[in-house]
């Protein structure tokens, strides 16, 4: 259960992130094409595209923050990743959840930049964990060479 909950929120979060990217990519192309023939219309269309994209995935980070928080709590409770990383992830997760408060707009930047650090740190920690797990132990080396 501890691992399933963050998995569900991660899957839920991935949908709006992918949809947001597609809307921005297609909307940007439409606005660029429209700008050649009708710059005023392009200037009118872009805020609509931007509003839809922000509504789906860029306006607040509630689901993403909840995912990082739940993932970090699960990793903290199981000892799967380093404690410092898990506490950092919990703080970043809370920052993401706080972005629902419009007056705390600056927290979104903290969440975004912190998430980049968290992803890199998590990736490094997972690679190190895997390399330790894949390396034979000294006891096994002594047995196989004797």
The ranges assigned to domains in the chain are 1-59, 60-146
User: Are the C-beta atoms of 49 and 27 separated by less than 8 Å?
Assistant: yes
pLDDT of residue 114: 96
Residue 26: closest CA among 55, 48, 59, 58: 48
Query: Mean of the per-residue pLDDT values for the chain?
Result: 85
User: Which has the minimum average pLDDT: 97-101, 104-108, 123-127, 131-135?
Assistant: 131-135
User: Which has the minimum average pLDDT: 40-49, 50-59, 76-85?
Assistant: 50-59
pLDDT of residue 58: 63
User: Are the C-beta atoms of 26 and 46 separated by less than 8 Å?
Assistant: no
pLDDT > 90 in the chain, percent: 51
pLDDT of residue 107: 86
User: What number is the average pLDDT over the span 7-26?
Assistant: 86
User: What number is the average pLDDT over the span 97-113?
Assistant: 87
* Tokens read off for 67: 């995912």
User: Are the C-beta atoms of 10 and 71 separated by less than 8 Å?
Assistant: yes
Burial 39-68 (b: 16+ CB within 10 A, else e): eeebeebbeebbebbeebbbbbbebbbbbb
The conformational region for residue 79 under phi > 0 = left, psi -120 to 50 = alpha, else beta, is left
Whether 121 shows a pLDDT value over 50: the answer reads: yes
């Amino acid at each position: 259960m501890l691992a399933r909950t963050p998995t569900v929120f991660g899957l839920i979060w991935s949908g709006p992130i992918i949809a947001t990217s597609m809307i921005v990519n297609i909307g940007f192309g439409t606005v660029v094409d429209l700008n050649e023939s009708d710059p005023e219309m392009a200037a009118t269309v872009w805020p609509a595209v931007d509003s839809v994209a922000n509504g789906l995935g860029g306006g607040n980070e509630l689901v993403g923050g909840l995912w990082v928080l739940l993932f970090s709590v699960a990793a903290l409770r199981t000892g799967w990743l380093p404690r410092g990383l898990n506490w950092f992830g919990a703080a970043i997760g809370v920052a993401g959840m706080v972005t629902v408060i419009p007056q705390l707009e600056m927290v979104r930047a903290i969440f975004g930049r912190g998430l980049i650090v968290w992803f890199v740190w998590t990736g490094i920690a997972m690679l190190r964990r895997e390399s330790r797990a894949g390396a034979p132990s000294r006891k096994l080396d002594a047995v196989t060479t004797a």
